[in-house]
Amino acid sequence: MPFCEVNKYQNGIDATGNNGTKIFYRTYGQGPVKVLLIIGLAGTHSSWDPQIKALTGTITPNDDESPAGDRSSGEGGGAMEVCAFDNRGMGLSSVPTKKSEYTTSIMAKDAIAIMDHLGWEKAHVFGHSMGAMIACKLAAMVPERVLSLALLNVTGGGYECIPRLDRQTLSIAVRFLKAKTPEQRAAVDLDTHYSKEYLEEYVGTKTRKAVLYQEYVKGISASGMQSNCGFDGQINACWTHKISRADLESICSAGFLISVIHGRVDVIAQLSHAKRLAKKLYPYARMVELPGGHLVSHERTEEVNDALLELIKASASKISPYDWTNLPMKTSGSLTRKSSPEGSRSSVMVDIIGRLQMFLVFFFGLFMLAFEYMRRGISRLKPVRVNAALT
């Protein structure tokens, strides 16, 4: 099976946090155009199957024994090679035990090592959720190696990773913490990844939820439940992620086109955060809003694939970013806010209230985690007390 030994492509400070880390990857299709796909938290490379199929015409990996002729008839023109991989802490990749070995910067270096391993000088870089955070870091580190950037269901990290505050989200959070089997995890994932309307649609005689549930149980059972080290580490990567002004300047100075693609009813990554990031990337970014949830790449596959192919084609044609973007110009809006003290104060208050709400959810989450760990600790202590009494 194909693995990339990260240490072979990094030296000195770049090798920090690796300790022999191996990243499992798969390539699909053949051609001069290269596309690197970076999946999100708790996901594996196969989560990109709908996009791999559209780009290359197949989901048969190149290391498979199938005929090569089956791998080059994608909608993108049959001239693409796509790579998808399991992030550290998930799937067949290494699972470092220390949280400090999971940051979006370290994981971006994993992705760069894969490009080096494959001999790719440049690539279109597409990321989903945490993978989009990693893609941002990669683009800031080596902007000269990025042909275009697609950010699906992205946030700016930190407090922006906290889901919206409502009963549905709190219920999902509690169920997620308690999920111990593929069946329990699958049920939670469905409510996390898709919109209610999509799950209630019928496919033949069954609802889409019933069909997807069986697929999810099968998939989770095959890849295995994510280890505690892997999950905690990837959560740490999301929580500590930040795109600095220097990162933004590095990305924008490179001049490549960007698509920010997001589901309108995403309960995990809020749409407002994606819009804020897109505005910071003006005029290179285009905002694509779709009716869907967090896994919009599966729920609205055709629309997402069209957006990705359009990005690749627009990049090849070297159109002006001002012809690409659909975002309003910055200048007039910023001047208006500066000239209105009342509007400025109102904007600040809204931002403060929004952040306060986010931190309340965060502290509630910490409370739930602490309660769960305390409950587990007490359950472990009970047999010890009984044994002590017997002796």
Contacts of 327 (CB under 8 A, 6+ apart): 278, 279, 282, 283, 285, 286, 287
Please give the helix or strand (H or E) that residue 373 lies within, else none. helix 341-390
Please give the helix or strand (H or E) that residue 111 lies within, else none. helix 104-118
Calpha distance 295→234 (Å, rounded): 18
Q: Three-state SS string across 246-271, please? A: HHHHHHHHHCCEEEEEEECCCCCCCH
CB distance 264 to 293 below 8 Å: no
CA proximity to 107, closest of 82, 83, 81, 86: 86
The pTM of the full predicted model, rounded to 2 decimals, is 0.82
Tell me the Cα Rg of the chain.
22
Calpha distance 246→89 (Å, rounded): 28
What the block records as the tokens of 356 is 């306060």
Contacts of 147 (CB under 8 A, 6+ apart): 34, 122, 123, 124, 125, 256, 312, 315
Report the pLDDT value the prediction gives residue 347, as an integer from 0 to 100.
42
Q: At what angle do helices 182-193 and 167-178 cross, to 10 degrees?
A: 160
Calpha distance 148→157 (Å, rounded): 21
What is the distance of C-alpha 378 from the center of its chain? 35
pLDDT tens track of the chain, all 391 residues?
Answer: 899 999 999 875 565 567 789 999 999 999 999 999 999 999 999 999 999 999 999 999 999 855 544 444 455 545 999 999 999 999 999 999 999 999 999 999 999 999 999 999 999 999 999 999 999 999 999 999 999 999 999 999 998 988 776 777 777 777 777 788 889 889 888 988 999 999 999 999 999 999 999 999 988 888 778 898 999 999 999 999 999 999 999 999 999 999 999 999 998 899 999 999 999 999 999 999 999 999 999 999 999 999 999 999 999 999 999 999 999 987 543 333 333 444 444 444 444 544 554 444 444 554 555 555 555 555 555 554 444 444 3
